[in-house]
Amino acid sequence: MASINRKKLYIVMVGLPARGKSTIANKLKENLAKNHIRTRIFNNGDLRRRLSPEDTSYPEFYDPRNRKGADLREKIAMINIHRAMNYLDRTGQVAILDATNVSAKRREKTAEILNTHPVLFIECINQDAEILKASIEQKVTLPEFRHLERESAIQSFKQRIRYYESIYSPVDKQRNAVRLDSLYNRILHEEISDDIPHYDLIRDLLVADTVKNLFLIRHGETYFNLENRIGGNSGLTENGKAQAKALARYFKNKKIPVIFTSRKKRTIQTAFPIMQEQEDCSIIPLKEFNEIDSGVCEAMSYREIRDVMPHVYAARKRNKYAYIYPDGEGYVSMKERVDRGIKKALYLSRNPQNIMIVGHRAVNRMILSHFLYRREEDVPYIYIPQDKFYHIVATQNKKLFQLRPYNRG
């Protein structure tokens, strides 16, 4: 290596399309900037769309045997590499090269050229078929697929991924590399040979669940709520609908690109008017956010449970967190799926300013306790009203939990 200035850093993203590379690159950039570290992203996809007047979204453009496509992609990669070098030569401190970089050949060449500062490779992996599917469905809403029907756009994007897979080789033999499960924010492999500037900060950012603004809402009042009945799939009462409209008014001037709900009618009905008041917003129902399954007690009221199944009532009272309803769930057994729902929501929403979840009483308790430590025995008693919502901020520089009313009269 030529003489290395250790104060500056190149980060090279690696991974197949739709593996969360850009989300991570953006998260790094924003947080490094908050720490006064001048950072810029050099994204090959953006450059391709800007530079090439013709359509490059069709899958064959990515076929490694297509010389014209391969040459153009190589050219774009080189332009960004040189722009990144220029940036660090001047005032920049961290340059992030955001591209697939899936072939060992491309990575070797990149490391060879970028020899004036250390290079850190961050490889993003996500093996979760369901998330990948949802992620692809979101990708095809991008302007570059606008000329295609949704199903053909999905097929086209999948074919693009297959072409990348055909030349993919996992990162190894690099001096500095992190392999990251980008859904679970888990480091799977870490090899650091050089003194990487800001590595403590970068590593921490890679593993942390961060949300800039999470609005955690409980669905509006339902017919079951009126009778204190649990579970089921009842709809909102008139009051519940009015609550949903009040929420919609309250959030009208905040940009909410996506609302995650459960698959139950009551959360979707609550989210619907909120979505309607937004300019560009979609609802994504996740089964992971369904309310606790109370098994044999579904649709019963607490009083009925006490009278008809006193053993259930007493056992749950003794240890509400650990108690599992016969044929159903308990807080303890919901934890894994709710955590998975949170990961899914964060992954699919791609680091936006605001994210919203409309959930249920028990589910929202679990979501809150994911970000705010509570002893397990206290989790099933966290206050989750229907006339207020939680505003949660969990970033490296700020933690906030605020219970706020939304109905300003």
Structure tokens at 268: 């979707």
* Residue 380 interacts with ligand F6P (CB under 6 A): yes or no: yes
Q: Find the shortest distance in angstroms from Cβ 381 to ligand F6P.
A: 7
Site for ligand F6P in 42-71 (CB under 6 A): none
Binding residue for ligand F6P (CB under 6 A) from 31, 210, 294, 351?
294
* Residue 73 interacts with ligand F6P (CB under 6 A): yes or no: no
Q: Which residue's CB is nearer to ligand F6P, number 87 or number 325?
A: 325
Q: Find the shortest distance in angstroms from Cβ 312 to ligand F6P.
A: 11
Structure tokens at 341: 């729902």
Q: Which residue's CB is nearer to ligand F6P, number 100 or number 262?
A: 262
Q: Find the shortest distance in angstroms from Cβ 215 to ligand F6P.
A: 19
Q: Find the shortest distance in angstroms from Cβ 406 to ligand F6P.
A: 19
Structure tokens at 283: 């609802």
| Closest-CA residue to 324 (of 359, 292, 368) | 292
CA distance 8 to 358: 43
> How many residues lie near ligand F6P (CB under 6 A)?
9
φ/ψ of residue 293, rounded to 5: -85, 115
The stretch near ligand F6P (CB under 6 A) out of 40-48, 98-106, 196-204, 290-298 is: 290-298
Residue nearest to ligand F6P (CB): 230
Binding residue for ligand F6P (CB under 6 A) from 29, 160, 344, 360?
360
Q: Find the shortest distance in angstroms from Cβ 325 to ligand F6P.
A: 9
Binding mask 209-248 for ligand F6P (x = CB under 6 A): ---------------------xx-----------------
| Closest-CA residue to 212 (of 100, 371, 69, 337) | 371
Q: H/E/C letters for each residue in 116-167?
A: CCCEEEEEEECCCHHHHHHHHHHHCCCHHHCCCCHHHHHHHHHHHHHHHHHC
Q: Which residue's CB is nearer to ligand F6P, number 136 or number 292?
A: 292
| Closest-CA residue to 270 (of 345, 342, 358, 341) | 358
CA distance 176 to 51: 31
Q: Which residue's CB is nearer to ligand F6P, number 277 or number 339?
A: 339
Collapse the DSSP code of 49 into the 3-class scheme (helix H, G, I; strand E, B; otherwise coil) and give the result: helix
The most distant pair of C-alpha atoms in the chain lies apart, rounded to whole Å, by 79
Exposure class string for 123-155: b at 16+ Cβ within 10 A, else e: bbbbebeebbebbbbbbbeeebbeebeeeebbe
Binding residue for ligand F6P (CB under 6 A) from 292, 346, 357, 358?
292
Q: Which residue's CB is nearer to ligand F6P, number 228 or number 276?
A: 228
Q: Which residue's CB is nearer to ligand F6P, number 316 or number 340?
A: 316
The count of residues in the chain is 409
Q: Find the shortest distance in angstroms from Cβ 228 to ligand F6P.
A: 7
Binding residue for ligand F6P (CB under 6 A) from 98, 128, 221, 291?
291
| Closest-CA residue to 159 (of 65, 58, 14, 54) | 58
Instruction: Give the footprint of ligand F6P on this chain (CB under 6 A).
Output: 230-231, 291-292, 294, 360-362, 380
